[in-house]
Amino acid sequence: MKDSYSLDIDDAGLDKQYRAHYQAYFDIYHRCGLDVIAVASDTGMMGGKLAHEYMYIADIGEDTLLVSEETGYAANREVATFLKPKADAEDMAELEKVATPNAKTIAELADFLNVPTAKTAKAVFFTGTFLENQEDVQKLVFGIVRGDMELNETKLRNVAKAKELRPATEDEIKAVGAVAGFASPIGIERKNVMLIVDDAVTESPNLVAGANETDYHYLNTNYGRDYTADVVADIVTALDGHPTADGKGTLKEVRGVEVGNIFKLGTRYTEMMGATFLDENGERKPVIMGSYGIGVGRLLACVAEEYRDEYGLKLPISVAPYAVHLVMLPGGDTEAIGEELYQAIQDAGIEVLYDDRDERAGVKFNDADLIGIPLRVTISKRSLQNGGLEFKRRDSDDKRIIPQEEIVATLKSEIEQLYKELAERVVEVPYNA
């Protein structure tokens, strides 16, 4: 990783540094010839109050992202939000327990009762680890979401402020009076339970939920009347095709490779380390931190994925280890000319790889294409007979003969043009808050 840190005395300073890094990282990726997007992300183990990930969009990506072409919204699925469909308004109906034999899943329940999944409430149990009084303690984290939605474990962990979550065992579920497959918050022991309810559930009347008895469910459960939560929050997963939270666009699911990230760490680490400063009033306060990192290895891998063909790499000039690949094919005066030209190119301040191996032309050309250096100059008996040296850009099939005395000037001009093309990609990027 290439890391950077900012240290400020207030949130305004952190905001300024964060925004500056946000754009600077785009500039770096664009100069590498790579198009990326910045997505809102989970702060994860780093902590803090805000984070963005820089993503290269590719089918090989390990991350699932939700983006909207209409609004510019982009977020990792772990934190993405969407506009939830509202339930129809209804008067509260009387709570009623009904037999639902073998209806353990939402699909089975909805089919048995002939109701849409949106009229059901789904119970999900985790055991969370929490830091209390400098010790790790465990408690049951009970999440409730509407049956037509999927619980998002990352959102649940963040809302619960748990260090980690794991699926609860059947014995842990039974211990609070709940029955797996037929569970609800109604009538359970709440002493060591954190109940977190999705906000869509609180606005959906008369839902079917478990009766905490095998093969039985309640009809017409209502939040507020039949149970209340410790926390009400968004804890469901956004999916492809969902409307954006503002209702002005549609979310599209894409895959991405993370090539960098930035975090507003705040005072999390400085408070632990006792890193403080004296303000203008002589009061000691914790330093406010930001953290910023680029995955150099990942970045190179993504450049290789973007700039390649069936023959090998086609590296941008800013990334390539050399600007010029000088290939000498033995015959006639090529060896002497090759040594002279190799020195002249270096004297001009141009980085050059010289292939003077005793190999066939096909081997040398294949290796040159594989390595992917932007510019290739070939010295051969044929090229000299044709009036000079063969010049070729790796990203083009065109070849042309350049007089030997003009080759250094041609290389300088081509290198300047390649850098100019990259510079034109460096643009101001709107801040995705």
The predicted-structure confidence for 16-59, as pLDDT tens digits, reads as follows 999 999 999 999 999 999 999 999 998 876 777 889 999 999 99
Q: How confident is the model at residue 285 (pLDDT cuts 50, 70, 90)?
A: very high
The pLDDT assigned to 432 comes to: 81
Q: Model pTM?
A: 0.86
Residue range 231-256: mean pLDDT, rounded: 97
Residue range 227-235: mean pLDDT, rounded: 97
- Helical (H) or strand (E) element with 16: helix 11-31
The pLDDT assigned to 76 comes to: 94
Rounded Cα distance, 174 and 255, in Å:
39
**pLDDT at residue 203 greater than cutoff 80:** yes
Taking domain 2-81+244-305, whether its CATH number is 3.30.499.10 is answered by: no
CATH 3.40.50.800 domain span(s) along the chain? 315-423
pLDDT, tens digit (0-9, with 9 covering 90-100), for 399-432? 999 999 999 999 999 999 999 999 999 999 999 8
CATH 3.30.930.10 domain span(s) along the chain? 2-81+244-305
Rounded Cα distance, 260 and 3, in Å:
10
Residue range 211-220: mean pLDDT, rounded: 97
Query: For the chain, what percent of residues have pLDDT higher than 70?
Result: 100
Q: 122 with 217: CB under 8 angstroms? A: no
Q: 262 with 292: CB under 8 angstroms? A: yes
Q: How confident is the model at residue 351 (pLDDT cuts 50, 70, 90)?
A: very high
pLDDT, tens digit (0-9, with 9 covering 90-100), for 295-344? 999 999 999 999 999 999 999 999 999 999 999 999 889 999 999 999 99
For 252, residues 6+ apart whose C-beta sits below 8 A from its C-beta are 66, 67, 68, 69, 240
The pLDDT assigned to 1 comes to: 84
Alpha carbon of 24 to those of 29, 42, 139, 245, 303: distances in Å?
Answer: 9, 21, 43, 28, 18
Rounded Cα distance, 205 and 414, in Å:
68
Residue range 100-113: mean pLDDT, rounded: 95
Residue range 80-101: mean pLDDT, rounded: 96
**pLDDT at residue 168 greater than cutoff 70:** yes
Mean of pLDDT over the chain = 95
Q: Which residue has the tokens 């990259």?
A: 422
Nearest to 180, CA basis, from 116, 122, 108, 111: 122
Q: Homologous superfamily of 96-233 in CATH?
A: YbaK/aminoacyl-tRNA synthetase-associated domain (3.90.960.10)
Alpha carbon of 128 to those of 40, 143, 168, 180, 185: distances in Å?
Answer: 25, 12, 9, 17, 17
Taking domain 315-423, whether its CATH number is 3.40.50.1370 is answered by: no
The pLDDT assigned to 45 comes to: 65
Residue range 113-139: mean pLDDT, rounded: 94
Nearest to 433, CA basis, from 14, 38, 16: 38
**pLDDT at residue 234 greater than cutoff 70:** yes
Tell me if residue 253 falls in helix, strand or coil.
Answer: strand
Residue range 205-214: mean pLDDT, rounded: 97
